[in-house]
Amino acid sequence: MEQLIEVLIENYGFELDGETPQAIAVRWLEDYEASWIRLALIEALYLGRYKAISVEQILNLWCRRGQPKFHFTHEFEQLICRRLPKSLRDFSLTVEDRRKISSPASKSPEPEPELEPEAVTEEEEETEPLSINRFTPLLDRSQVYSKLKAVANSEVN
């Protein structure tokens, strides 16, 4: 589980405030349930909170409540976990496990349909990067760009 936590922290670029992913994983595993840490990391990604302190805040809130309350869907969880190394994907919760952990605040006790994980070939697994690639726009050297630049420069002068 420690390796899974480290991989999620590294691959999704969590801000660590000077600590290493290994140190954070060890500290969290001493203080919180391992399954909760994984859920809290996914919840932080779902909420757009990419700091280790945010994950700790989520874990502390869940500890006060006595159980985790997450907002992400099983599909989001699959999306996050599908690019993990194959050996770490087995930690994914089954629908039954999710029901055991799910919050009493959820109003609809409808069971979620069990979804089949997307098939990923070995070739795709080797070629797909494990982290998010930063978007870098290509420079557009078309005629439209040149004309627009000329107009902009003439208006400034």
Q: Provide the strand spans (E) within the chain.
A: none
Q: Show me where the domains of the chain are located.
A: 2-156
Entry pTM:
0.58
Mean pLDDT of 13-21: 89
pLDDT value at residue 80: 85
Please report which confidence band the pLDDT of residue 79 belongs to, taking 50, 70 and 90 as the band edges: confident
> Which tens digits make up the pLDDT trace of 30-78?
999 888 999 999 999 999 998 999 999 999 999 999 999 999 998 998 8
What DSSP letter does each residue of 11-41 carry, written as one string? Answer: HTT-B-TT--HHHHHHHHHHHS-HHHHHHHH
- The answer to whether 67 touches 103, Cβ cutoff 8 Å, is yes
pLDDT value at residue 52: 92
pLDDT at 24 over 50: yes
In angstroms, rounded to a whole number, what is the distance separating the alpha carbons of residues 104 and 100? Answer: 10
